[in-house]
Amino acid sequence: MNIFVGSLPYRLKEAQLSQYFEEYGTVNSVKIITDRETGRSKGFGFVEMSDDSEGSAAIEGLNGAELDGRNIVVNEAQPRKEQTGGAGGGRSFGNERRERRY
């Protein structure tokens, strides 16, 4: 089961997050999402647990729990939606040649 964890303290390390979830079962992987430019935590991440019942127990036990003064949000991760267009609306940024019409 893939689990989303939000409102994480920015100083929290992946090993620490893993320890919280290991109380509920086997943790396969932990990933705290970081900013590409600064490397600083964005305050959320994902934990993958091998067993769905252990994952459900972790969600129930940790959702709303306080970590380092913050109440974390823990729920089952949803599949990522395909992005179509986005803020740019499919606009070009000058990488193609434009045909002139007179």
User: What is the DSSP annotation of 9-54?
Assistant: -TT--HHHHHHHHHTTS-EEEEEEEE-TTT--EEEEEEEEES-HHH
Rounded Cα distance between 69 and 17, Å, is 15
Residue located via tokens 């380092």: 68
Q: Are 8 and 70 in contact (CB under 8 A)?
A: yes
CATH code, 2-78: 3.30.70.330
- Answer with the residue of higher pLDDT: 79 or 99: 79
User: Which of 53-57, 63-67, 68-72, 87-91 shows the lowest mean pLDDT across its residues?
Assistant: 87-91
Res 56 pLDDT > 70: yes
Identify the pLDDT of residue 89: 55
pTM, two decimals, is 0.78
